[in-house]
Amino acid sequence: MEATLLSWFREHGRDLPWRKTRDPYAVLVSEVMLQQTQVARVLPRYLEFLERWPTVDTLAAATPADVIREWQGLGYNRRALSLHRAAGRIAAKGWPDDLTELAGVGRYTADAVARFAFDRPVLPVDTNVRRVVERTGGKFGPGSAHALMDLGATICLARVPRCDACPLAAECPSRGRRYAPSRKQSRFEGSFRQRRARTLTLVAERPRRRSSLDHEATESLAADGLVEIRSGVVSLPH
């Protein structure tokens, strides 16, 4: 089954820029950006980010304010601060053996960087990988990571898998099954997340009087370290 998957991947694998590097910093940037954000949105921003800060040292030397501004539009802005803190840690002390010691790096992200940058024999398991493994019951090694991700993202879809196009269909015990929709994320439009995003966008443009901003959103952003409030003025952290 694994050999069939890898043969399919050689012909159909996605051409993504972060797959062309073993630089752990570049891989980390991609993995943090891809957390809860679609590949199509990440593609141009990833290249722009690395053009501005091509090394971990250059990112570590940046101000949090500049990193937050660069992150605008990607959402979940706390990731920007975590990535900046991780860069500072790496610049000062090097890469830790346990990558989960880095800010914002959980088990999956640590395994992904370990596999794709350091060539460690670990299979990073994201939603797509887990879905393919569970449905097929196959045994896959670390070298199949990208192939599993692509099969899950393009063929073995969450609700209605494209079994007619799947290279593993002949051996898959789940072939032809359909699945109930999983719990959807709450709507962004009109949500508190949207209020936070609007408030942060305003402050990213220039410092604002606290009284002119959404009070609850401002307090929430301040609690996350995304803005600072001094003498009634709200600004990005420096």
Tell which CATH classification among 3.30.420.40, 3.40.50.2000, 1.10.1670.10, 1.20.120.1460 matches the domain 1-12+121-182: 1.10.1670.10
Positions in the chain whose pLDDT score sits under 70: 183-186
Contact of 2 with 140, CB cutoff 8 Å: yes
CATH number of 23-116: 1.10.340.30
Locate the domains of the chain by residue range: 1-12+121-182, 23-116, 192-235
Per-residue pLDDT at 190: 78
User: Three-state DSSP class for 1?
Assistant: coil
Report in angstroms the alpha-carbon separations of 99 from 30, 55, 90.
Answer: 15, 18, 10
Quick count: other Cβ atoms within 10 Å of Cβ 137? 11
User: Three-state DSSP class for 196?
Assistant: helix
d(CA 80, CA 86): 10
Backbone φ, ψ for residue 114 (5° rounding)? -60, -40
Contact of 3 with 140, CB cutoff 8 Å: no
Per-residue pLDDT at 181: 80
**Which residue out of 31, 48, 171, 216 is catalytically annotated?**
31
Per-residue pLDDT at 184: 66
Q: Is 31 a catalytic residue?
A: yes
